[in-house]
Amino acid sequence: MIDLGEYGARFTEDPHPVYAELRALGPVHRVRLPAPDEGHETWLVVGYEEARAALADPRLAKNPNTGGFVFYDDGLIGEHMLLADPPRHTRLRALIAGEFTGRRVAALRPRIQEITDELLDAMLPLGHADLVESFAYPLPLTVICELLGVPEPDRAAFRELSTEVVAPTSAESEQKAFVELAAYLGELIEDKRCAGPTGDLLSGLVRTTAEDGDRLSARELRGMAFLLLVAGHETTVNLITGTVRALLGHPDQLDALRADMTLLDGTIEETLRYDGPVENATFRCAAEPLDIGGTAIAAGEEVMICLSAADRDDARYPAPERFDLRREARGHLAFGHGIHYCLGAPLARLEARVALRSLLERCPDLALDGPPSGWLPGMLMRGVRRMPVRW
């Protein structure tokens, strides 16, 4: 048993050396999680090939009822794709997938650029700012809230609840956030139902009917709204800040990108591999006994797949600790793999592309103005709450 909590704050700030130690010992380990989940035990998959196979293995179920354990929202939010297996997962994904096609996402580019320009217009005259607060957070938050139809006055409160859900400061505050978020989403959906069609995605989901007459139930609507709103911006915040953090920490790579902006897509993919926004996939449960990397997993046991560790496996990526924007990073697991591959990946990539190009072009002398701080607690998200920069 490896107690990850014993590594203390250094594990939260930089878990990669610990994951490298674990990979050297084997691809799968029994671990005890750090705060705020201290004491919780699970299997942790850290090898690339083993993680990729596990992400697509139907014997590893996402529905918590499979193993008889209670998911952390205690049923408050409702049913969504991250907690579903086929055929329910197939059905839920089919009802929403059409809204995230490449064509639909590409149509959002002008509005994403407009929001980006507005944020930079307000930020740049100051000469310095917290990049998270002034830019990286409001951009994807505004995009997803507009897409789903969250009223502007509600967005600040929603942000606080969302952050507490994905990076809880304590079990009590996490539970409180789930209660308040569930109540808010229920009210929002009911408002959409009563208001009639308004053109936003959530209003459309309330009225979505598949060819066979299938519709989302009230619980499924709440769960879908939760998943889209939270996953639709928290990951992108950390992708934007993570890319800037990596570039400023590697001046030669930043110079190369400034000299050739065609390297931008490769830069984003390398950031996703090198220090992606999702550190670990959400829990899976063994529906039956299975073997992962030579380790026997009993039926009913939980499995956590470490995307960050897998993407720095030197068996897949030579010199994985080096940030190299010319690397062939395709095949990384930052957005998952298999049927649960992130539906919002095209939107996240587009937002990051627009944000980073605009930021670097308008801030040619961008630099850190102090160390990034406030590393997100827990093992789900990878990022910081504050990142002071100047120009």
Which of the four pLDDT bands, split at 50, 70 and 90, describes residue 67? low
Q: What's the length of the chain?
A: 391
Q: Regarding beta strands 2-3 and 28-32, do their DSSP bridges make them parallel or antiparallel, or are they unpaired?
A: parallel
Over residues 281-303, the pLDDT tens digits come to: 999 999 999 999 999 999 999 99
Domain ranges of the chain: 2-390
Distance, in Å, from the CA atom of 117 to the CA atom of 127, rounded to the nearest integer, reads 16
**Bridge partners, residue 28, by sequence:** 45
List b or e across 289-314, with b for residues whose CB sees 16 or more CB atoms inside 10 angstroms: ebebbebebeeebbbbbbbbbbbbbe
**Bridge partners, residue 44, by sequence:** 29, 304
Taking residues 365-384, what's their average pLDDT? Answer: 95
At residue 277, the pLDDT reads 96
Q: Looking at per-residue confidence, does 232 or 315 come out higher?
A: 315
At residue 227, the pLDDT reads 87
pLDDT value at 82 more than 70:
yes
Is the bond preceding residue 87 a cis peptide, omega within 30 degrees?
yes
Over residues 85-140, the pLDDT tens digits come to: 999 999 889 888 877 878 888 999 999 999 999 999 999 999 999 999 999 999 99
At residue 72, the pLDDT reads 46
Contact 323, 270 (CB under 8 A): yes
Over residues 241-295, the pLDDT tens digits come to: 999 999 999 999 999 999 999 999 999 999 999 999 999 999 999 999 999 999 9
Which of the four pLDDT bands, split at 50, 70 and 90, describes residue 70? very low
Give me the DSSP letters along 84-130.
Answer: --TTHHHHHHHHHGGGGSHHHHHTTHHHHHHHHHHHHHHHGGGSEEE
Class of residue 103 by CB neighbours under 10 A (exposed 0-12, middle 13-18, buried 19+): exposed
CATH superfamily for 2-390 is Cytochrome P450 (1.10.630.10)
At residue 371, the pLDDT reads 96
